[in-house]
Structure 1
Amino acid sequence: MKNRSFFGAIAALMILSACGKKEEAAPPAPAPQPFPVTTVAQENATVYEEYTANLEGQQNVEIRPKVNGFIQKIYVDEGQEVRKGQLLFKLETQTLTQDANAAKAAVNAAQVEVDRLAPLVDRKIISKVQLETAKAQLAQAKANYSSVAANANYGTITSPVNGVIGSLPFKEGALVGSTTEMPLTTVADTKVMRAYFALNEKQMLNFSKTFKGSSLEEKVKNTPEVTLLLVDGSEYNKKGRIKTVTGLVNATTGTSQFRAEFPNPEAILRSGSNGIVRLPVVHNDAIVVPQNAVFDVQGKQTVYVVNKDNTVKSKIVEVSTTSGNNFIISGGLEAGEVIVTEGTSKLKDGMQIVPQQAKKEAAPAEADAPAKDTVAVATKTTTTKTVTTKK
């Protein structure tokens, strides 16, 4: 009984103590924080698709000897500009010259025989068959002489085109011939440079869908002018045009080869060098958003959309093209929606924020800038991505 009374007293004291305490207040909810936002709008966007290219002269002609002989004289030097018909090499053809003289003597002898037999036939001393045989031998001798004389002339090698001399792997005194693996030199006509680049099957399909035309040739004609990025990152000051594309896909590489041509009046471009061809593709009424506004959730590209009550809600979007600073959205967003552009890692669905509209900076004017209300971004399919945004 005493124990029960003791525990009852303790319970009564605890109840009185609890009743005497003042009820503690819950901690206040954090105030909404400011976040930069932007209103989604449809704009015309120019995406620059970039492809690594190999540069070659309009004509790259390998100079090879047609006859065997020692190089007697080299009349040009590496890098020298030459004209069509200009003398390049002289081969020692003494043996061929002697053969030509012998062939010429055979022609003279055959001619003498024909001249001797002709009057005898007229007098019917010999048959006409003998004369015809002598004439056939004369024709054979002349043909042999022409062949030998031509070979002797092949010792003098001239340039078949206007251009620039490449490397000279052989020096004077070297023995060369028609079976020599390396050419004597290469003459490159660099007034017009050709840039060769390739598109894989997926890129080729996009190309065919992007540009209008009932044939591949018409689609190529409807492509805009292209630009060329040099190895130092600068842009070549002359624009070019795409001229041709192979009709078949290379079975080994799975690519189709394109050829663009650029004027080269100042000889800035060199045959054998590399560059990057930039092909502009216009996306009309595209939705362009800052890359910082898009984040990845389990492989899905997502943005935070701001509701009318300033609460945020995550939304999955489809990214069409990537640039250095922007994404072009092909699905999931509509014009007029407001999205958070920075600090998305701090947000959760249902969180309330204080929207702060981001101010768009005007891009500096350029001579070849796109029209007003056009955003120009750049993406490359085979090289490092770059971006140029114009408003």
Structure 2
Amino acid sequence: MKRKHTYKLILFSAFLAVVGCGNQEKKEVAQAPPPSIPIIQLTTKTVTGFKEYPTNIEGVINSDVRAKTAGYIQKVLVDEGQKVKKGQVLFKLETQALSEDAGAAKARVNVAQVEVDKLVPLVEKNIISSVQLETAKANLAQAKANYSSIAANIGYATIRSQVDGHVGRINFREGALISPNDATPLTTVSDIKQVYAFFSLNETEYLDFLEHAEGKSLEEKLSNYAEVNLILANGSLYSEKGQIQTSSGQINQNTGTVSFRAVFDNPNQLLTNGNSGKIQIPTVYENHIVIPQEATFEQQGNIMVFKLQEGNKITTAMIEVKAAIDHLYVVESGLQKGDKIVMSGVGKLRNDMAITPQEVPFEKAVKPIAKLFRN
């Protein structure tokens, strides 16, 4: 009986010990401090964003070189990419047949001239009618015209450049038969001291442009618009800035777009006909609230942040985004200057959660993230 009583006392003591440990653990958990979370205090900042549009490059002057007469190419006197001057000979056509025709035509001119010279004194002496002389003169004029036409064709057999520039692709070589009716030019000579970059805006973007660009007319808006950048096909930024010169001002019914043309200086002839790339049009957002994109999360299609409230509790707030620039959001509404928000790690937080705020300088928070790897 005594043993049983002792055994019960031991069990009861063990139970009290277990309960005491459990209470101690709960007490320790309850006393754990809230997690440390990085916080930033918002202020305004001026940032520049860019919208990109595919573009095609052409020389300011593109002169198709075509034949004015039919014939076989005898010589190609230039090569692709060569710089040429206005009036420089590019191609020579075979002229042997034309020269023979010219000799025959010249002989007919001489015969007609002899006939006129023979009839003039006879008419003066009233030996023959003047009608015969007029007919002979008409034959002479026709013979001269025929000769001039053949001589012109001989001249056309020497094909010259109409502009200063660079020779493009040569589409016909020695021995090819060409004519003025060919759809493909012999080559194209391009002046690439400056180049045009053609691109298009959709209807919405065009209306935004008209709304925000300074000026009353389209011409004024274009002349006052900011300079644009050109991103080359390899992803590098072209060294020269461009200026938007013209716009069609009309929406293409097939594509729903409005065409624009920018011009770039090309001092080193880096650009040429057929280059492609992207036009970057800048948009400056002055004195706007900007936040890191990592400070946001999505909830039912809305962009949310955690705002710090009194008592170091955080609550969710929905924001409207005006633009996304690199790793930042330009905020349209939902936040004000002076608000404090969670900077990062939002995926592990919940509404009305208590935190230990660790304030991070605003400029450090919005500083671009350095790339560890480059393409």
Which TM bucket (shorter chain)?
A: 0.7 to 0.9
Cα deviations by residue, 1:189-238 (Å, 9 ceiling, x for unpaired): 11112111121112212211221122222111111122222233222222
Match of 2:198, SS?
strand
The answer to whether the 8 Å contact 1:45/1:376 transfers is no
The answer to whether the 8 Å contact 2:40/2:362 transfers is no
The answer to whether the 8 Å contact 1:46/1:376 transfers is no
TM-score scaled by length of structure 1? 0.80
The answer to whether the 8 Å contact 2:42/2:362 transfers is no
**Structure 2 equivalent of residue 207 of structure 1:** 209
**Structure 2 equivalent of residue 178 of structure 1:** 180
Letter in structure 1 aligned against 2:277: G
The answer to whether the 8 Å contact 1:198/1:258 transfers is yes
Partners in 1 of 2:239 and 2:204 — Cα distance? Answer: 30
225-234 or 149-158, which moves further after superposition? 225-234
**Structure 2 equivalent of residue 259 of structure 1:** 261
Letter in structure 2 aligned against 1:82: V
RMSD (Å) for aligned C-alpha atoms: 2.9
**Structure 1 equivalent of residue 77 of structure 2:** 75
**Structure 1 equivalent of residue 98 of structure 2:** 96
Partners in 1 of 2:307 and 2:197 — Cα distance? Answer: 45
Matched, 1:38 2:32: no
| Residue from 253, 274, 293 that aligns with 2:295 | 293
**Structure 1 equivalent of residue 238 of structure 2:** 236
The answer to whether the 8 Å contact 2:47/2:285 transfers is yes
| Residue from 168, 185, 194 that aligns with 1:166 | 168
Partners in 1 of 2:339 and 2:273 — Cα distance? Answer: 51
The answer to whether the 8 Å contact 2:57/2:197 transfers is yes
Partners in 1 of 2:313 and 2:364 — Cα distance? Answer: 30
Spell out the pairing of 1:85-124 with structure 2 (5 A cutoff): 85-124=87-126
Match of 2:98, SS?
helix
Partners in 2 of 1:349 and 1:100 — Cα distance? Answer: 98
**Structure 1 equivalent of residue 311 of structure 2:** 309
Partners in 1 of 2:215 and 2:315 — Cα distance? Answer: 43
Match of 1:334, SS?
coil
**Structure 2 equivalent of residue 341 of structure 1:** 343
Change (3 A) 1:318 1:107: farther
Partners in 2 of 1:359 and 1:168 — Cα distance? Answer: 62
Change (3 A) 1:181 1:84: same
Change (3 A) 1:313 1:149: same
Spell out the pairing of 1:260-275 with structure 2 (5 A cutoff): 260-275=262-277
TM-score scaled by length of structure 2? 0.83
The answer to whether the 8 Å contact 1:47/1:376 transfers is no
Partners in 2 of 1:101 and 1:233 — Cα distance? Answer: 61
**How many residues are treated as equivalent by the alignment?**
349
Match of 2:100, SS?
helix
Letter in structure 2 aligned against 1:348: R
Partners in 1 of 2:141 and 2:336 — Cα distance? Answer: 87
| Residue from 322, 338, 348 that aligns with 1:320 | 322
**Structure 1 equivalent of residue 12 of structure 2:** none
| Residue from 212, 219, 225 that aligns with 2:227 | 225
**Structure 1 equivalent of residue 58 of structure 2:** 56
Partners in 1 of 2:210 and 2:53 — Cα distance? Answer: 16
Match of 1:204, SS?
helix
**Structure 2 equivalent of residue 389 of structure 1:** none
Instruction: Quote the offset at 1:42 in angstroms.
Output: 2.2
Indicate the percent of aligned positions where both proteins have the same amino acid: 46
Match of 1:217, SS?
helix
Change (3 A) 1:104 1:348: same
Spell out the pairing of 1:376-391 with structure 2 (5 A cutoff): none
The answer to whether the 8 Å contact 1:291/1:325 transfers is yes
Instruction: Quote the offset at 1:156 in angstroms.
Output: 0.5
The answer to whether the 8 Å contact 2:41/2:362 transfers is no
Change (3 A) 1:353 1:99: same
**Structure 2 equivalent of residue 9 of structure 1:** none
Partners in 1 of 2:172 and 2:256 — Cα distance? Answer: 38
**Structure 1 equivalent of residue 247 of structure 2:** 245
Change (3 A) 1:309 1:250: same
Change (3 A) 1:104 1:360: farther
Match of 1:168, SS?
coil
Greater fraction helix: 2
